[in-house]
Amino acid sequence: MRRSLVSNLYRTARLANDISAIASGNPHRIARRAQNKVIGRMLARGGFWRLLWGGGRR
């Protein structure tokens, strides 16, 4: 599937934040970034964001 421009921009911003966290060399920042990504993925798979923002299955 093709992504929209906005979707690509958000994806690029997330990647830039990942790179920034790694480049900082701060182990606490790297660990926090990794932890937040894992938690976000778990919430997404559980349908939390869909429930939160009122979107249904399409």
Buried b / exposed e along 18-56 (16+ C-beta atoms within 10 A): eeebeeeeeeeeeeebeeeeeeeeeeeeeeeeeeeeeee
pLDDT of residue 56: 59
Domain boundaries along the sequence of the chain: 5-53
User: pLDDT by residue (tens digit) across 10-39?
Assistant: 999 999 999 999 999 999 999 999 999 999
Q: How confident is the model at residue 54 (pLDDT cuts 50, 70, 90)?
A: confident
pTM beyond 0.85, yes or no: no
Torsion angle of the four alpha carbons 21, 8, 5, 39, in this order, in degrees rounded to the nearest 10: -80
